[in-house]
Structure 1
Amino acid sequence: MFEDEITITLSKPVIIGKGENAITYEEIKLREPTAGEMEKAARADTMVGSAITLIGLVAGIPRSSVEKLSKRDLVAANKFLEGFTEAGQPEEAGQS
C-alpha cells in the first residue's frame, strides 16, 4: 500500500534568514499534491524547477528554502511526489 503522507528528515538543515529571525527546516512534510499544485509546478521551465515548485507548494515552505535542499533530499521528495503520477504514461486523448 502506498503512503499518502511522508516526513523527510533533511540530511542537512536548511536555514533561511539570520539571527533570531532565522527559520530552520530540519524536515519537510509531504502529501499527495492537488491538481492546482501540479498545474503550477508544470509551468516551470525545467524538470528540476517543476520539482522545486511542487515540493514548496506541497510542503508549505518558501521556494527559496526548497532551492537550498541537498540533491539527496530533493531526489527523495521528488520520488515520493512522482509516486502519485504515472510519469511517462501518455494521456489518452478522445475519451469522454
Structure 2
Amino acid sequence: MQETMTLTFRRPITAGKGENAKTYTELQLREPLAGDYEQAEKSGGKYGFVVALVAIVSGVPIDVVDELFSSEIDEAEDFFSGFADEAVLMPDVRSPDEFSLELQAPVKLTDDATALNATKLDLCEPTNLQRRKARQAGGPFASSIELISIVARVPRKTVRALSARDFHSATGYFNGFQIRRRPD
C-alpha cells in the first residue's frame, strides 16, 4: 500500500484572477488522519465528503478540487479506501471483549510524556451510555472519534491525530460488537 499519491489532472485548473491566479496541474495526497475525516464530514456541505477530504488532505482549494473530473475524484477515493482495515471490511467477525490496538503510526503530539502521545489504545466493548454520549458529538466520524476517546481514555486531540489505518482498526473493532454472540 502506498502512503502518498500524486493525482495528475487531465487538464489544468486555474483558481483566482489576475495576479492572484494560480494554475494547478496535480495534487499530492497522503494518508488521512481521523481529524481529517471529521473535518471533511463537517465541511463537506455542497461539495460532498470526498471532495472536502481531498481538499483537506492535499491543501488544494476546494473550488479547484470541485473542478476535477469525477473519475479523478474516484481515483482519490480509491486511494483513501486503501487505508481501510480488514476489520472494517469483514462485518461478520465478532470482536473480543477487550483489545489492545498497537498503533501502526504512533501519535506524538508533544515531546514530553503526556496523554496526548500514544503507541497503543486499550479498547473494550462500549456501554450503551458511552455509545449514547458519543452519538451526541455529531456525524459518524465525530461520533467514532468521541467513542474511541471515551473508551480508550485518551484526549480527542490524540484520536484526531490517528492515522486512517489505526482509526479504521479501532472503528472496525467497535463494529464487531454489532454481531450477536452465537452459541458456536
- The equivalent of 2:77 in structure 1 is 78
RMSD (Å) for aligned C-alpha atoms: 2.4
Name the CA shift for 1:23/1:35 in 2 (closer, same or farther; >3 Å): same
Distance across 2 between alignment mates of 1:92 and 1:45: 30
In structure 2, C-alpha distance between the alignment counterparts of 1:49 and 1:14, rounded to whole Å: 19
- If the length of structure 1 is used for normalisation, what is the TM-score? 0.80
Per the alignment, in what secondary structure is the counterpart of residue 176 of structure 2?
A: coil
CA contact (8 A) 1:37 1:54 kept: yes
Confirm or deny: 8 A CA contact 1:12 1:70 kept in the other structure.
no
Q: Which amino acid aligns with 2:7?
A: I
Runs of 5+ in structure 2 lacking a partner? 92-174, 179-184
Aligned pairs for 1:46-85 (under 5 A) are 49-85=48-84
Q: Which amino acid in 1 is paired with 2:4?
A: E
CA distance in 2, matches of 1:93, 1:5: 32
Kindly state the Cα deviation for residue 86 of structure 1 after the two structures are TM-superposed: 4.8
Alpha-carbon offset, residue 62 of structure 1: 1.5
Q: Using a 3 Å threshold, how does the CA distance of structure 1 residues 45 and 60 change in structure 2: closer, same or farther? A: closer
Q: Structure 1 residue 50: deviation in Å?
A: 0.5
CA contact (8 A) 1:16 1:22 kept: yes
The structure that has the greater radius of gyration is 2
TM-superposed CA distance for 1:65, in Å, is 1.4
The amino acid that maps onto 1:30 is: L
Q: Could you say which residue in structure 2 is the equivalent of 1:93? A: 177
Residue number in structure 2 paired with 1:6:
5
CA gap 1:45/1:16 in 2 versus in 1, 3 angstroms: closer
Query: How far apart, CA to CA, are the structure 2 residues paired with 1:37 and 1:30?
Result: 12
How much does 1:82 deviate? Answer: 1.5
User: When you count helix as a share of all residues, which structure comes out higher?
Assistant: 2
TM-score w.r.t. the length of structure 2 is 0.45
The letter for the 2-side match of 1:67 is: D
In structure 1, how many angstroms separate the alpha carbons of the residues matched to 2:49 and 2:29?
A: 15
Segments of 5+ residues of structure 1 without an aligned counterpart are: none
